[in-house]
Amino acid sequence: MEGYNVHANGIRQHILHFPGNGEPLLLVPGITSPAITWGFVAERLSKFYDVHVLDIRGRGLSEAGDLDYSLDAMSDDVVALVQRMGGAVVLGHSMGARIAIRAARKNSQLFSKLILVDPPVSGPGRRQYPAKWPWYADSIRLAQKGCSADEMRVFCPTWTDQQIQLRAEWLHTCQYTAIKTAFDGFHTDDIHADLLELTLPIRLIVAGGADVIRAEDIAEFESLAPQTKTYTVQNAGHMIPWDDLEGFLGAVTDDAKGA
């Protein structure tokens, strides 16, 4: 693993690189996941792809402060990065999947494929995202003060000690206003309208043990983007690789393995 910074879309963006021999893959994490927290996944994915993990603006080591934290701004970041990479597969988790969808609508020719991992299907006139704002707000405020892994465990009781330790160490880098803007955007941004415009290959990976995507949501997703292939990791919660890493890797890479 090696880290690097680039100036793209007008800001400094930090990326972790896990070199591999395959096609470039840009991994875009979720709303409160700095790039380092996906290291254990990226390391395994580097057997199949040349993996780059983004610190989304306002998180990790990327630029923060008085910035635009809208879905459009974050998707413009991804477009700018993939342009620099000369094209890539984009794997987005949760908010990162919504970013990938919006980015692909803006410039689909840059992307060879989207891998969308449990994207929130909330939006205007739709049911709310199942996670509630206080869970994010309280854990970020705790991390900003400085907290131990044991103190953080109340928010993520099923995670391993290493996973909890990383979250306790890095969550303070998630700027409160950036997270609030993104969370509010879950309910105001219409990614379904974006899906209608996409023709590139899409792999939708669903957490079978979560309530983010239901059967009717899968059906709508596939009707809006018929090129979608859906894979369900049956016993995993929303943070799929945290619960079932092997199941997640199988869902992501079965075509890379030649299956």
- For the chain, which domains are there? 2-129+188-253 (3.40.50.1820)
The pLDDT of residue 254 is 79
How far is residue 140 from each of residues 16, 170, 178, 184, measured CA to CA in Å? 23, 10, 11, 16
Answer yes or no: is pLDDT of 241 > 80.
yes
Q: Report which of 236, 232, 189, 169 is spatially closest to residue 32, judged by C-alpha positions.
A: 169
Cβ contacts of 244 within 8 Å, gap of 6 or more: 233, 235, 236
Confidence of residue 256 (pLDDT cuts 50, 70, 90): very low
Cα three-residue angle 51-52-55, rounded to 5 degrees: 145
The pLDDT of residue 259 is 32
pTM exceeding 0.85: yes
**Per-residue pLDDT tens digits for 12-27:** 999 999 999 899 999 9
- Segment 223-235 shows an average pLDDT of 96
What's the mean per-residue pLDDT of the chain? 96
**Per-residue pLDDT tens digits for 59-102:** 999 999 999 999 999 999 999 999 999 999 999 999 999 999 99
Inter-helix orientation angle 95-106/71-85, to 10°: 70
Give just the sign of the alpha carbon dihedral 75, 129, 214, 258.
positive
- Segment 90-115 shows an average pLDDT of 98
Helix (H) or strand (E) holding 46: none
Answer yes or no: is pLDDT of 258 > 70.
no
**Per-residue pLDDT tens digits for 126-179:** 999 999 999 999 999 999 999 999 999 999 999 999 999 999 999 999 999 999
- The answer to whether residues 97 and 189 touch, using CB atoms and an 8 Å cutoff, is no
- Tokens representing 165? 């330790």
Confidence of residue 257 (pLDDT cuts 50, 70, 90): very low
d(CA 111, CA 117): 16
